[in-house]
Amino acid sequence: MNQPTGHPTMAQLLALLLERLPEWPPIKHDERKIRAALHVLMPEPEWRHDCREDIETTLTLIEKNELSRRRSEQDKRATAKLLAALKKAQSAKAELAWLDARQFENVCNLQAGIAFCDREEDEQKQAAPRKPRPSSHRKFDAVQTAYHLVQLWLVVRRGIFDAGRLSDQSSWYKLSVILFGKDANLLSHMSRYREAMDRAHAAIADGKDGRRVRRKPSQIVPVSDAGAD
């Protein structure tokens, strides 16, 4: 029987990401999703607890990312409402007697509040120049996290190297659909993620080759031999 390896669990790998997300009420997971994911990942009995923890952590990350995106839209609407209210209050203040207006300013600095809202709106516009469909973000989250779960639990621990292939019959695809939460065609998202991973790996390899050449200049082919057959 295969023994557990020293590789960190997904729960450990995602802990830092979860810490950087805002605090939200505890998220309740669908037990059917967890059982379906366990069926795809097929952990050995002694690994089942760790695998389940990884799945729960992954589902938490996906849901918290979704809540963060929704919160961003809520923040935009709240900022717009606050700015409108402050401007309305500023117009009303102009009708006060001079002394009353000065006393009001000592209690509430409307101009500072308006400036704050203006800065918030500018930052929100700069941070979101494009507005993709919300479900597209969730699909990518599901594909990305499913890929790493499959790599850890099926490729590394069980040696099932075709589990991460680009196919609607692969374990990667099946797990992505489970994590996404409903039937959807995720092949295009899987393909884009695989391309991004390949580019990242190629860049890392190129960097290592460059450092190797710089460390060992004597291995560079001499100019006089470059054209030899």
pLDDT in tens, 9-34: 555 555 555 555 555 566 788 899 99
**Count of structural domains within the chain:** 1
**Domain annotation covers residue 227:** no
Residue 217 pLDDT: 40
**Domain annotation covers residue 226:** no
Task: Check whether 167 has a pLDDT greater than 90.
Answer: yes
What is the per-residue pLDDT across 201-215, written as a single tens digit (0 to 9) for each?
A: 787 777 666 555 455
- Residue 27 in contact with residue 64, Cβ under 8 Å? yes
**Domain annotation covers residue 113:** yes
Task: Check whether 50 has a pLDDT greater than 90.
Answer: yes
pLDDT band at 219 (very low <50, low <70, confident <90, very high): very low
Task: Check whether 220 has a pLDDT greater than 50.
Answer: no
Domain of 85?
A: 10-216
**Domain annotation covers residue 225:** no
**Domain annotation covers residue 30:** yes
What pTM did the predictor assign? 0.60
Task: Check whether 37 has a pLDDT greater than 80.
Answer: yes
**Domain annotation covers residue 221:** no
**Domain annotation covers residue 182:** yes
**Domain annotation covers residue 180:** yes
